[in-house]
């Protein structure tokens, strides 16, 4: 029976992948638990913890965090909307519509789905859609930039940028951070291998993602102002670890957005989205060699 279920699941998901991918036209996994909106940019945004669906046929998870990252679905769609309004292009979106009490898509399978076949299927679809989006971006542009979007409730209202380094790592000196041990463990390795900047500068220097966010009006860490995050701090989880691979030309980070003045209202989500798109429009040509408003395949530009 378990083998039969696995075969049926694989066949059903294969039909999803066989569907034509049209930018800004949603593709759904089985039972509509996972939504993939294909794009035509090298930017992928995944949202694992904003879902609200609580189907009775999936038992509640009995361990791990089960709280929703409120309004992160809405924030991701606002970011995509601003990008389209400013560039005419579409962001790849992968959205888990299941509540975190049913599935935590940012964990390894055992903890994420806790033996529920339906949750396991949704987890597989979620990560297969991310891989599909990254593959499409790499095929067209030579690189994919993945943002795994979350929300935090820490007392310090700042945007936390997770590159797979915790606060203790970032407390190390620049000389240590610039060594291969840190570079190879981080999500920016693809950029670091091609950049004239040191790795510590990519993480927290004046041209870092955090510096650009602060210039746009949103406190962030790591950044020149706060090179070492205070704890608690989210370092970047399973999704970034799994998909950001220099060997596959995928880079990126986890963004943990505070709720006050950022996720709490539609107006604030729009303000942050505009600021983030401003950051991306600076960061992409600076570090990836691609302009969001005039995307050209990297391989053709060289």
Domain count, the chain: 1
Helices (H), 114-166: 117-141
3-state SS class at 38: coil
Q: How many residues does the chain have?
A: 302
| Helix, strand, coil share (%) of the chain residues, nearest 5 | 45, 15, 40
CATH of the domain at 185: 3.40.630.100
Other Cβ atoms closer than 10 A to 26:
12
pLDDT tens, per residue, the chain with 302 residues: 333 334 334 444 443 443 457 887 999 999 999 999 999 999 999 999 999 999 999 999 999 999 999 999 999 999 999 999 999 999 999 999 999 999 999 999 999 999 999 999 999 999 999 999 999 999 999 999 999 999 999 999 999 999 999 999 999 999 999 999 999 999 999 999 999 999 999 999 999 999 999 999 999 999 999 999 999 999 999 999 999 999 999 999 999 999 999 999 999 999 999 999 999 999 999 999 999 987 555 444 33
Query: Global pTM?
Result: 0.92
Tell me the residue range of the domain where 118 lies. Answer: 2-301
pLDDT (0 to 100) of residue 203: 98
pLDDT (0 to 100) of residue 5: 39
Q: What is the DSSP letter of 98?
A: B
Distance, CA of 287 to CA of 282 (rounded, Å): 9
Distance, CA of 136 to CA of 26 (rounded, Å): 16
Show the tokens assigned to 144: 């994919």
pLDDT (0 to 100) of residue 293: 85
Show the tokens assigned to 208: 């870092």
Residue 154 in contact with residue 259, Cβ under 8 Å? Answer: no
Distance, CA of 278 to CA of 218 (rounded, Å): 12
Which residue from 177, 152, 182 is spatially nearest to 260, judged by alpha carbons? 152
């Amino acid at each position: 029976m378990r083998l039969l279920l696995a075969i049926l699941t694989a066949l059903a998901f294969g039909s999803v992948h066989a569907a034509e991918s049209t930018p800004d036209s949603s593709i759904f996994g089985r039972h509509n638990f996972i939504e993939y909106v294909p794009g035509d940019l090298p930017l992928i945004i995944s949202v694992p913890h904003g879902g609200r669906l609580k189907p009775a046929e999936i038992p509640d998870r009995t361990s791990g965090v089960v709280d929703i990252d409120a309004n992160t679905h809405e924030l991701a769609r606002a970011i995509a909307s601003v990008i389209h309004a400013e560039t005419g292009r579409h962001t790849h979106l992968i959205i888990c519509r299941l509540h975190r009490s049913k599935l935590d898509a940012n964990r390894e399978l055992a903890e994420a789905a806790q033996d529920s076949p339906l949750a396991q299927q949704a987890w597989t679809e979620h990560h297969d859609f991310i891989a599909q989006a990254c593959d499409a971006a790499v095929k067209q542009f030579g690189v994919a930039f993945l943002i795994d979007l979350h929300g935090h409730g820490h007392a310090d209202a700042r945007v936390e940028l997770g590159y797979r380094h915790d606060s203790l790592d970032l407390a190390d000196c620049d000389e240590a951070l610039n060594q291969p041990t840190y570079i190879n463990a981080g999500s920016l390795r693809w950029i670091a291998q091609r950049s004239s900047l040191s790795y510590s500068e990519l993480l927290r220097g004046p041209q870092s993602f955090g510096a650009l966010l602060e210039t746009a009006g949103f406190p962030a860490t790591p950044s020149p102002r706060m090179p070492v995050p205070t704890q608690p701090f989210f370092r970047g989880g399973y999704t970034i670890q799994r998909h950001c691979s220099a060997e596959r030309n995928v880079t990126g980070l986890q963004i943990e957005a505070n709720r006050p003045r950022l996720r709490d209202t539609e107006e604030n989500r729009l303000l942050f989205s505009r600021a983030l798109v401003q950051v991306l429009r600076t960061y992409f040509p600076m570090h990836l060699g691609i302009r969001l408003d005039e995307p050209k395949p990297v391989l053709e530009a060289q």
